[in-house]
């Protein structure tokens, strides 16, 4: 049985990915800061597969390495790493942006992804096998008004994804990114700091992607034969043509 570690499994894309992979009988390591939610998901998915909850903040590098290097033997060989934890903080013109928001996005979306990857990659190299899926965004392919630093963080994920694939070539490790457009999750609640009315409006007037849609694609990606690597995928809902062009009724 293969083991998959999913960061950001307490909500949205990560949570649905956990559900999708449990259906494929992967052993799961569920990560996120909210332990209560991890335990609830373990309760649900534990009926289908073996589940371990690993609570840490991806910004805390000591904790990241301590937790991943001390996994119980049954969970210590990570076959699949899904670098999903991430979020946006604020949607302001660059001149009005809050420094704490910029730091949070760079620390979580970029540095956190790097810490987790650095903790997991050596084992994959040793076993000459592994699959890393980086969750980027359409915001990593284009920049939209007021998206400045969030877009920069996701452009960094795009570059890191390419860099990982180049540097890990020949080591038996597949590396690829999935770049979703608008997906209705807690993403906008976080971006607008709990203003749920404002968050809801982002997805009104059109049918946005659901986290299950992305999870289904991740399930497809990880179940391809070893010689097939989905290197970089952009997924938008039908109503969306670009970050700024959305057919809202």
> Residues in the site for ligand NDP, rule: CB under 6 A?
7-14, 32-34, 57-59, 84-87, 108, 135, 137, 180, 182-183, 185-187, 190, 211
**Catalytic (active-site) positions:** 150
Compute the chain's Rg from CA coordinates.
17
Which residues inside 152-181 make contact with ligand 8X3, applying CB under 6 A? Answer: 181
Residue whose structure tokens are 């620390």 = 107
**Would you state the structure tokens that stand for residue 138, as one six-digit string?**
């359409």
Position with the least CB separation from ligand 8X3: 137
Query: From the list 9, 13, 182, 218, which residue makes contact with ligand 8X3 (rule: CB under 6 A)?
Result: 182
CB of 244 closer than 8 Å to CB of 144: yes
243 binds, among ligand 8X3, ligand NDP, none (CB under 5 to 8 A by kind): ligand 8X3
Residue 42 burial (CB count, 10 A): 17
Please state the closest distance from residue 130 (CB atom) to ligand NDP, in A: 20
Is the torsion defined by CA of 141, 162, 191, 221 positive or negative? Answer: positive
- Between the CA of residue 233 and those of 140, 178, 218, what are the distances in Å? 12, 5, 10
Q: Residue 84 binds which entry of ligand NDP, ligand 8X3, none, with Cβ cut-offs from 5 to 8 Å by kind?
A: ligand NDP
Report what 13 binds from ligand NDP, ligand 8X3, none; CB cut-off 5-8 Å by kind. ligand NDP
Of 32 and 86, nearer to ligand 8X3 (C-beta) is 86
Q: Which of 51, 80, 105, 139 binds ligand 8X3 (CB under 6 A)?
A: 139
SS3 content of the chain, % helix, strand, coil (to 5): 45, 15, 40
The first and second tokens of residue 91, run together, are 């949607």
Binders of ligand 8X3 among residues 6 to 65 (CB under 6 A) are: none
In the complex, what is the shortest distance from the CB of residue 2 to ligand NDP, in angstroms, rounded to a whole number?
22
Q: In this chain, which stretch among 52-60, 119-127, 132-140, 228-236 interacts with ligand 8X3, using CB under 6 A?
A: 132-140
Query: Is residue 113 near ligand 8X3 by the rule CB under 6 A?
Result: no
Q: Which residues of 4-23 are buried (b: 16+ CB within 10 A; e: fewer)?
A: bbbbbbbbbbbbbbbbbbbe
Stretch that binds ligand 8X3, among 17-25, 53-61, 63-71, 136-144 (CB under 6 A): 136-144
Q: What Cα–Cα distance (Å) separates residue 113 from each residue in 106, 132, 155?
A: 10, 11, 13
What are the C-alpha distances in Å from 45 to residues 52, 78, 85, 195?
10, 18, 20, 31
| Residue 137 sits in the site that holds ligand 8X3 (CB under 6 A) | yes
Size of the site for ligand 8X3 (CB under 6 A): 8
The footprint of ligand 8X3 (CB under 6 A) covers 137-139, 147, 181-182, 187, 243
């Amino acid at each position: 049985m293969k083991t998959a570690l999913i960061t950001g499994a307490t909500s949205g894309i990560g949570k649905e990915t956990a559900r999708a992979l449990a259906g494929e009988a992967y052993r799961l390591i569920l990560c996120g800061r909210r332990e209560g939610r991890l335990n609830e998901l373990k309760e649900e998915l534990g009926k289908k597969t073996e589940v371990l909850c690993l609570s840490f903040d991806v910004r805390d590098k000591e904790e990241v390495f301590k937790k991943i290097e001390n996994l119980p033997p049954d969970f210590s060989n990570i076959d699949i790493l899904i670098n999903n934890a991430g979020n946006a903080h604020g949607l302001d013109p660059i001149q009005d942006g809050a420094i704490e928001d910029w730091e949070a996005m760079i620390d979580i979306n970029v540095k956190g992804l790097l810490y987790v990857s650095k903790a997991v990659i050596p084992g994959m190299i040793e076993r000459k096998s592994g699959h890393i899926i980086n969750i980027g965004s359409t915001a990593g392919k284009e920049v939209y008004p007021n998206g400045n630093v969030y877009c920069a963080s996701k452009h960094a994920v795009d570059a890191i994804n390419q860099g990982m694939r180049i540097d890990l070539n020949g080591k038996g490790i597949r590396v690829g990114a999935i770049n979703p457009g608008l997906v209705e999750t807690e993403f906008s609640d976080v971006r607008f700091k709990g203003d749920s009315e404002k968050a809801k409006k982002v997805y009104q007037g059109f049918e946005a992607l659901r986290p299950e849609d992305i999870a289904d694609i991740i399930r497809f990606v990880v179940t391809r034969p070893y010689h097939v690597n989905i290197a970089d995928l952009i997924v938008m809902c039908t109503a969306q043509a670009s970050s700024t062009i959305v057919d809202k009724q």
